[in-house]
Structure 1
Amino acid sequence: MSAILQNILKGGAETPSPSSSGDADFADFPGAPEQPVAPVSGGVPVVNTPSQGATTAAGTAVPFTKWYRVWERTSPQDFIQEAFVLPFIILVLLSHFWGTRRNRRTARTWAKAHVPLLQSEFEVVGYNGIRKEIPTPPEADEIEIPEGIIKERSPQEFVLYATGRQNVAFVDVTIKLLKWYNPVYLFGDWMLSMVMDSWPAPTQKIDCFAYAFDGKEKDIVPVPAAEKETLERRSKANNSSYDGFVFAVVHKNKMRQLREDRYDVSLTFTKDNPKLPAWTTVMSESAEVTDMILTKDLISAIENAGDAFEYLVITDQPLEKPTTIDETTPRKRINLSLQVPSGSSVSVYDTTKTLFAQFLRLTDRLVSVAHFRAEVSRKIRNKRDEEIRRLKRADEEEKAEERKLAAEKIKKDEREKTLRNMSAEEQRKFLEKERDREAKRGAKKQSRRG
């Protein structure tokens, strides 16, 4: 028996007969094959041929048949589907990598043009938490922006944060770019914007928000105990609060969309101003506010920005129409919206950098001059008070409805409890009386109407 097993394991060419082993239970084996069979590999027997293939431990050659030679058992016709699909996959991958690299390059170009200005105005720029001065080489394109200055929220959206400045709590900058990494989606947006007026055309824009302290530095910034008295004396001498209002300078192409999308701008009236370019208009709550905001430097910066300018909004009201009284609490901020100019060089932002600098320093001017006469303040406050009164009436009506429903529920529960404690005859009489009362009430209503 052991001799048979050894022969099988070795893949020997001879198979002993039962007579040689002396075991009558085994049937006669067939004669040895001309080509010995090697042990099974991967579920497929391999024919041993001395002239080709690898050599086993026993010294016999193991050839590789068509099962392993893919080029022998296949042809190009077997890969026709892959030949059609593979180019599309390669095209999608190439467009994705090209689009993401393009958007990252655009965002970093904006950062090269504006981060030095932000660092001159704010103590902390970016998300590292530690200020690092960026050396400014002779050529602006050679500026190196360190990691953490600008954050990639998605392949088409990049954000930047700055804080640590007098009168300004913090600044948020959001760069929204086109979906170059998905040409099909981008083409669909273009087509829908041409067919549907409600579908906005895809654009590249920069939204900047500056949030004012408005005299709440102590509530926002933690103050060490040792410096508390000094900072309190300094805050009394220089109060960062100013009167709330809504004011906007808007490109006329964006005027209708801005009024429809934002609640705060809907509180203003629109009027052209001769000091501004003809392609812009003013949305303001008061002429005195307009005269106070429009300085020569600001007007010159808007003119230089040209078509890249979309709007500049100073507001203390929410973007969406308030539904509760808490949402009417003033939150003073300044919003600047610009289009991304075409070009990959830092110099393309030379026309908008002046306006961006005016935007960063505008809070300082508001703190110094935005304190209006009593008549102007009363006129501005009346609109807000009217909205608060409307919300209070709606809130009172809602509470009255809730009280009415609660009283009806209590009355219904008491009626059901009374009916459960009555006999069948008593329930019948009780229900007849109810029907009579309802009929009398209906008759009285009819007579009153007549």
Structure 2
Amino acid sequence: MSLFTKILGGLSPPPAVVPEDYDGLEYRWKLFVFRPAYFQKEVWLVAGILLYVAVWWIGSSKNKRTANKWLNAHFPIYEQQFSKTDSKYGRLTADGYSDYFSYCTGRRNIASLHTVFAFRPRHDLFQYLFQLGRQVMDLQYRPKDDLQLDFTLAPGVLSGDFVFAIVSKDELVTIKDSRWDLTLTKTTDNTQVPTTFSVMSEFADVTENILKIIGPLIEDQKIRPYFRSLSITDQPRDRPSGPVPAGEREKHVILNLEIPPSSQLGVTAAFVAGLFPLIDSLSKVHLRPETKTKLRRIREDLDKELKADAEKDKKEEAEQARQDRKAAKKKAEDERVSKLSAAEQRKHLEKEKKKAMRKTQGRIVQK
């Protein structure tokens, strides 16, 4: 027997043991025999894979179909308001199977509009079941499909620097966790807004001026089941790593909605259409001089705090880097010493002891 034959024999799997007394269901075709009773575990495995694929297909299709339906119902408004409504990827851009985006630009007073759909992970069976389980355990956790219209205002549209929002009371528990800019505001009830909404504002002067513009828009009762928040802000939504120069601060009008069913898409269409004259009216907002002074001081103090935090983080990173270099140097020295002979290691230890004693004596003399 040649060496090659021995190698092949060692690599070949042992022959399958098929009992002759099998009396179950079997399928024969020429030389092939299939006996289902021997593949019970495999059946469950294949069924699980097919279930996962089916959930992925149905869930991802539903998310994309919902985004397209909403966008198609509102796209005539976009085309009427903007000169450019399509990106190189088309109307709708996908980022995975639960996030979709649309971009518009080319309008007076509005630099751009990002329409962002954030759906529940219906395409991922395990992640979706995790959300359901967490929802049962945590009563404050309410995952929803989120729709955000982020209007970036053109420079000069809004003269004042402030943060203001009207928020559904159902969102008050969690909104400050996802919106750092709203942590600058105080939450109050206001008779000029529906009882299901709250006002988040820095000063009463800001509230009075903005409600004159927004008031008529939010009085529509049909929008209330789908309304989550409407904010005007000069600050980033996430806490910045350092102070943002005044000339680089973008001002935004941000609308968050729940996506309504197909039969109610006209409700949000009317509300979205009303946002454009609202944005055009923001140039008429004139705050009192003392309010502007207070807002400017708040932002100066905020910049100092952000700068101090940034410097602290840099010092911590530098100290950590120094500690890492010191640890690496010590490790390399320990490895070098471990390779020495026993006599050389004793000499090294004596040398280190003398060095430590000199340092100790130097500290005592200085005292």
Q: How far apart, CA to CA, are the structure 2 residues paired with 1:249 and 1:153?
A: 29
Contact 1:316 1:330 in 2 (8 A): yes
Amino acid at match of 2:202: E
TM-fit CA distance, 1:284 = 0.6
Counterparts of 2:124 and 2:249, CA distance in 1: 40
Structure 1 segment 186-197 matched on structure 2, within 5 A = 186-196=128-138
1:300 offset after TM fit, Å?
2.0
Matching residue within 289, 305, 321 for 2:223: 305
Asked if residue 117 in structure 1 is aligned to residue 77 in structure 2, the reply is yes
Q: 1:156 is aligned with what amino acid?
A: S
Aligned residue for 1:104, secondary structure, equals: helix
Match of 2:209?
Answer: 292
Q: In 1, are the aligned partners of 2:243 and 2:304 still within 8 Å (CA)?
A: no
What residue is the counterpart of 1:158 in the other structure?
100
Q: Distance in 2 between the 1:103 and 1:96 partners?
A: 11
Among 345, 357, 366, the residue aligned to 2:273 = 357
Aligned to 1:438: 363
> CA RMSD of the aligned region, Å?
3.3
Contact 1:247-1:314 within 8 A present in 2 as well? yes
1:259 to 176, 182, 198: 176
AA matched with 2:298: K
Q: Structure 1 pair 433/269, CA: closer, same or farther in 2 (3 Å)?
A: same
Q: What does 1:265-284 correspond to in 2, within 5 Å?
A: 265-284=182-201
> 2:143 aligned to 202, 218, 226, which one?
202
Match of 1:180 in 2: 122
Q: Which runs of 5 or more residues in structure 2 are unaligned?
A: 1-27, 323-354
Query: Bigger shift: 348-357 or 107-116?
Result: 348-357
Partner Cα separation in structure 2 for residue 398 and residue 259 of structure 1: 23
Amino acid at match of 2:113: V
Q: Please report how far the alpha carbon of residue 395 of structure 1 lies from its aligned counterpart in structure 2 after TM superposition.
A: 6.1
Q: Which residue of 2 aligns with 1:223?
A: none
Cross-structure match for 2:251: 332
Q: Say yes or no: does 1:377 pair with 2:296.
A: no
User: What is the CA–CA distance in structure 1 between the aligned matches of 2:46 and 2:313, rounded to whole Å?
Assistant: 61
Given that residues 207 and 338 in structure 1 are in contact (C-alpha distance below 8 angstroms), is that contact kept between their aligned partners in structure 2? yes
Q: Given the superposition, is the C-alpha separation of residues 120 and 87 from structure 1 closer, same or farther in structure 2, using an over 3 Å criterion? A: same
Determine the C-alpha separation between the residues in 1 that align with 2:179 and 2:197: 18
Q: What is the distance in 2 between the residues matched to 1:431 and 1:101?
A: 70
Letter in 1 for 2:364: A
Amino acid corresponding to residue 205 of structure 1 in structure 2: D
Taking the aligned partners of 2:37 and 2:309, their CA distance within structure 1 comes to 73
Aligned residues: 306
Which of 67, 84, 90 is 1:148 aligned to? Answer: 90
CA separation in 2, counterparts of 1:396 and 1:76? 68
Deviation at 1:173, TM superposition (A): 0.6
Q: Distance in 2 between matches of 1:209 and 1:98?
A: 29
SS of the counterpart of 1:201?
A: coil
SS in 2 for 1:125: coil
Letter in 2 for 1:355: F
Looking at structure 1, the residues matched to 259 and 314 of structure 2 have their Cα atoms a distance apart, in angstroms, of 49
Q: Tell me the CA shift for residue 288 of structure 1.
A: 1.7
1:388-427 matched pairs, under 5 angstroms = 388-393=303-308
Distance across 2 between alignment mates of 1:105 and 1:394: 44
**Whole-angstrom distance in 2 between the partners of 1:437 and 1:95:** 73
Q: Secondary structure at the match of 1:277?
A: coil
Offset from partner CA, 1:78-132 (integer Å, 9 cap, x none): 443333333333322222222222222211110121101111111111214xxxx
1:206 positional shift: 0.3
Provide the rounded CA distance (Å) in 2 between the counterparts of 1:191 and 1:119. Answer: 42
- Residues 393, 174 of structure 1: CA spacing in aligned structure 2 closer, same or farther, 3 A cutoff? closer
Secondary structure of 1:318's counterpart equals coil
Per the TM alignment, residue 391 of structure 1 is displaced from its structure 2 partner at its CA by 3.8
Q: Is the 8 A contact 1:244 1:330 kept in 2?
A: no
Separation in structure 2 between the aligned mates of residue 349 and residue 399 of structure 1, nearest angstrom: 49
How far is the alpha carbon of 1:187 from its aligned partner?
1.9
Question: 2: CA distance between counterparts of 1:118 and 1:373?
Answer: 35
3-state SS of 1:116 partner: helix
Give the structure 2 partner of residue 348 of structure 1.
264
SS of residue paired to 1:322: coil
Shift of 1:327: 6.7
CA distance in structure 2 between the aligned counterparts of 1:117 and 1:167, rounded to whole angstroms: 16
User: Can you give the 5+ residue segments of structure 1 that lack an aligned partner in the other structure?
Assistant: 1-66, 129-146, 216-239, 407-429, 443-450
Secondary structure, aligned partner of 1:103:
helix
TM norm structure 1? 0.61
